[in-house]
Chain A
Amino acid sequence: MAQDIIDGINPTRMELLNLKKRTKLAEKGYTLLKEKRSALIKEFFDILDRVKGVREEAYSKLNEAIIALTSAQIVMGDMAVRKASLAVKESIDVDIASRSIMGVSVPIVNINMDEKSLIDRGYGFNDTSIQLDEAAKKFEESIKLVIELAEIEKTIYLLADEIEATKRRVNALEHIMIPKFKNTVKFIDMRLQDLERENFVRLKKIQSTVEDKEEENSDEMEIAV
């Protein structure tokens, strides 16, 4: 790897200048991407702290809700609970906006859920019990939390994807592109120096030949004189 250079490059001054420019750009990009990676990882950890609390809360609420539902089923019977549940009016409306974390757009969920009184729920009171009301209330609460959890988890996954992509880019620049550029610059530089030396030697040679000839000429002249 150490001697890797760009294939098919012409060792000319023009290319050297171009390459130097590209190296500079690559290095700039590398620092920027590294900063982006750090920022993303920081965000990632911030949100990881949040997810634990929310998950536990959501799961325990859900558990409570399921227990309440079970007791409603015990009191009323499966079928009656199902029937009542079908009568419940839809009350959850989510607004999805998005915000951008370092260029990753992540969802923000706004849950519009109005507090409902017993009457608003929509099932009749005739054949339902208080356990059912309890269960419905608990489920309403847990749905809110579950949706919040969904938002956070989605954000985590999106961030994770972006971090991986950025990491790959940073590594590609650091370990492949930049060394390659530098090696090529070195190669061209040495090649140009070599050419210069060659030229220098050639000039010296010509000079000495010319001088030799001049000397011969002057010798001949002297003889002639």
Chain B
Amino acid sequence: MSSVGIIGNMDIVSGFRLGGVKEGVAVANKDEAIVAFDKFLDDELSVIIITQKIANEIRSHINKKLGSQVLPMVIEIPDKDSKSEESSDQLAELIKRVTGVEMVK
């Protein structure tokens, strides 16, 4: 059973296919990304890998669809040309939100 999927640009998808991920969808714009993401959800994949640029564009869609359920796990990976700072920023924000009060204490 296939349980890993990748949404990204052509190159990334080719790369992951080489690595053995079969469910790869190369997308060029936001609408395609949403369609691909929904398809993955319908297929009940357990891990969905999305490149950061695309994830940023469809973030609200992702959050709306996922809520707080455990599966699928959505993971963002940096693009060929983007830095990895953004997702650690997100994490820092989360830490601040969760532990902020305790940290001050």
Contacts and interface: CB of A to CB of B under 8 A. Distances in A.
B84 A156 contact: no
B28 interface: no
B17 to A, nearest CB: 4
Interface in B20-43: 20-22
Contacts of B97: 160, 164
A216 interface: no
B68 interface: yes
Interface in A44-90: 44-45, 48, 51, 55, 58-59, 62-63, 65-66, 69-70, 73, 78, 81-82, 84-86, 88-90
Contacts of A185: none
Interface residues of B, number: 40
Contacts of B1: 93
Contacts of B74: 150
A177 interface: no
B3 interface: yes
A65 B20 contact: no
Nearest to B48: A150
A69 B15 contact: yes
A154 B20 contact: no
B90 to A, nearest CB: 10
A158 B70 contact: yes
Interface string B31-59: 00000000000000011010000000000
Q: Secondary structure of the A side of the interface?
A: helix
A146 B20 contact: no
Interface in A102-151: 105-107, 109, 113, 116, 121, 132, 135-136, 138-140, 142-143, 146-147, 149-151
A41 B71 CA distance: 23
A139 B19 contact: yes
A168 to B, nearest CB: 11
Contacts of B98: 41, 44, 160, 163-164
Given A82-B10, A82-B14, A85-B14, A150 B73 contact: yes
B28 to A, nearest CB: 15
Contacts of A113: 20
A115 to B, nearest CB: 11
Contacts of B62: none
6 cross-chain pairs, A with B, having the tightest CB-CB distances, nearest first: A139-B19, A91-B20, A150-B75, A85-B17, A90-B22, A136-B18
Given A139-B19, A150-B75, 17 more contacts: A44-B99, A55-B84, A58-B77, A59-B77, A66-B12, A69-B18, A82-B14, A88-B18, A89-B20, A93-B2, A94-B3, A94-B46, A147-B4, A156-B91, A156-B94, A157-B94, A164-B98
Interface of A: 41, 44-45, 48, 51, 55, 58-59, 62-63, 65-66, 69-70, 73, 78, 81-82, 84-86, 88-94, 96, 98, 105-107, 109, 113, 116, 121, 132, 135-136, 138-140, 142-143, 146-147, 149-151, 153-154, 156-158, 160-161, 163-164, 167
